[in-house]
């Protein structure tokens, strides 16, 4: 018999908890069992797999490369088991089902609540849970199966195998200046705009990538002093932002 056919959920939870605690005693406490019993279960699993799953280090047990590979599968399976239990609880309570929606900061205040209201209008008995986070966190949870849908800013690096994406709308990029600023209310050209210091989003965020892509399409780039002013730069900052 293949070892996967003998795999039990408690063995998967052992992998997950041990990877989080790095300690057999702490893992045993969380799983309400004894350390010798946990050691035996881990050895049985490693013997069945035929590979070492954890190695001892100065700071405790750490997953091996094989352990990390199996751990990813274990967490996805556990997420589906937990979802199955939650769905059955919802159905017993008379609900039409349960949806876990992830939303980034850009979507959590408007788009996600609108989506939840639209869903509840069609399925009044559904249970909807909203989880807020950054897109890299949310996409990771989506791949693990703990989220059903994610709403947020898109970026090419967040698109991977197993994901389906659908554009909902495009966000325009706007330059924003304070009232009374020399550029406020006029129609400045690029040389004028680039004279002032910019405050922009952190590198690597989807909105920063969108800003740089829009600038490149216009044949422009971020000013050299967008992070810190130069002695010759005006003292009035200029903010590019999205609305």
pLDDT digits (tens, 9 = 90+) for 45-57: 999 999 999 998 8
* Domains, the chain: 3-73 (1.10.10.10), 95-169 (3.40.190.10), 170-243 (no CATH)
The three-point CA angle 13-16-19 to 5° equals: 145
**Confidence (pLDDT) at 233:** 43
H helix runs in 56-197, sequence order: 65-92, 105-108, 111-122, 135-144, 190-193
**Confidence (pLDDT) at 243:** 35
Per-residue pLDDT tens over the stretch 102-139: 998 878 888 899 989 988 888 888 888 899 998 888 88
Cα gap 97→123, rounded to integer Å: 9
- pTM, two decimals, is 0.52
Q: Which residue has the tokens 């057999």?
A: 24
SS (H, E, C) 185-238: CCCCCHHHHCCCCECCCCCCCHHHHHHHHHHHHCCCCCCCCCCCCCCCCCCCCE
User: Tokens in use for 3?
Assistant: 């070892």
User: Tokens in use for 232?
Assistant: 């010759």
Listed residue (141, 140, 240) closest to 200, CA to CA: 240
| Side-chain-facing half-sphere of 17: CA atoms under 13 Å | 19
**Confidence (pLDDT) at 241:** 47
Cα gap 18→70, rounded to integer Å: 13
Per-residue pLDDT tens over the stretch 203-234: 777 778 888 888 898 899 888 777 533 334 44
Per-residue pLDDT tens over the stretch 148-159: 899 987 766 666
Give 59's pLDDT tier (boundaries 50, 70, 90).
confident
The residues, ordered by sequence, that sit 6+ positions from 83 with a Cβ below 8 Å of its Cβ are 98, 100, 145, 146
**Confidence (pLDDT) at 30:** 92
């Amino acid at each position: 018999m293949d070892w996967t056919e003998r795999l039990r959920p408690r063995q998967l939870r052992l992998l997950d908890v041990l990877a989080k605690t790095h300690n057999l005693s702490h893992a045993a406490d969380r799983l309400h069992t004894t350390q010798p019993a946990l050691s035996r279960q881990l050895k049985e699993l490693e013997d069945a797999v035929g590979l070492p799953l954890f190695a001892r280090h100065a700071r405790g047990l750490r997953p091996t490369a094989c352990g990390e590979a199996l751990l990813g599968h274990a967490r996805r399976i556990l997420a589906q088991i937990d979802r199955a239990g939650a769905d059955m609880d919802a159905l017993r309570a008379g609900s039409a089902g349960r949806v876990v929606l992830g939303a980034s900061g850009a979507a959590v205040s408007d788009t996600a609540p609108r989506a939840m209201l639209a869903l509840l209008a069609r399925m009044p008995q559904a249970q909807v849970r909203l989880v807020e986070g950054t897109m890299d966190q949310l996409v990771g949870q989506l791949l693990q199966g703990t989220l059903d849908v994610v709403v947020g800013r898109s970026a090419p690096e967040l698109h991977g195998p197993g994901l389906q994406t659908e554009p909902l709308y495009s966000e325009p990029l706007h330059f924003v200046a304070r009232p009374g600023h020399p550029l406020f209310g006029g129609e400045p050209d690029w040389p004028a705009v680039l004279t002032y210091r910019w405050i922009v989003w952190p590198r690597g965020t989807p909105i920063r990538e969108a800003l740089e892509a829009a600038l490149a399409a216009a044949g422009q780039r971020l000013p050299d002093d967008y992070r810190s002013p130069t002695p010759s730069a005006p003292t009035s900052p200029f903010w590019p932002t999205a609305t």
